[in-house]
Amino acid sequence: MLEILLSIGALGGGLVLMIAPRGEIMPLPLSALAGSPFDTYFVPGLILFAVLGFGPLVAARLAWLRHPLAPTAAFIVGAGLLIWVAVEIAIIGYSNEPPLQAIYGILGVAILLVAIRWFLDVGLPTIHRGTPAHI
């Protein structure tokens, strides 16, 4: 459920940043990107849309299927979100209006803690190799 919540926000936010990369819809000043490798919000929007939009959907699907890699996918999503928030704060600074960085940081920690708990319950995934076929 946490991953789906993240996905909805990232798909919506990423789409808005790609459609209006100069802050025409989401009121973000281009001056906030000074010192970053980006001139507009298009590439950050694309990354947000693709990685933090679709990645959590894949993780949620794996969890729904009770796939052995589901805890790993959840861990990667939580860590990825925390990295995204840390890089965002490093590049544009912390903003408390609205407190999205704090909210998504807490969401990243929650997803990571769920994944760690999941690992403790089921163990780390292992690769099962079949026995070689005899010719």
| Structural domain total, the chain | 1
Residue 129, in any domain of the structure: no
Distance from C-alpha of 72 to C-alpha of 94, rounded to nearest angstrom: 29
Instruction: Output the six-digit token pair for 16.
Output: 């808005």
Residue 52, in any domain of the structure: yes
Scanning the chain, the segments in alpha helix (DSSP H) are 2-19, 42-49, 55-64, 70-92, 100-122
Tens digit of pLDDT for each residue in 71-94?
999 999 999 999 999 999 998 889
- Residue 101: domain span: 2-122
Residue 133, in any domain of the structure: no
Please work out, in degrees rounded to the nearest 5, the angle formed at the alpha carbon of residue 23 by the alpha carbons of 13 and 94: 70
pLDDT over 90, % of the chain = 75
Residue 135, in any domain of the structure: no
Q: Which residue has the tokens 């903003």?
A: 95
Residue 23, in any domain of the structure: yes
Which stretches of the chain score pLDDT less than 70? 127-135
pLDDT in the model for residue 52: 96
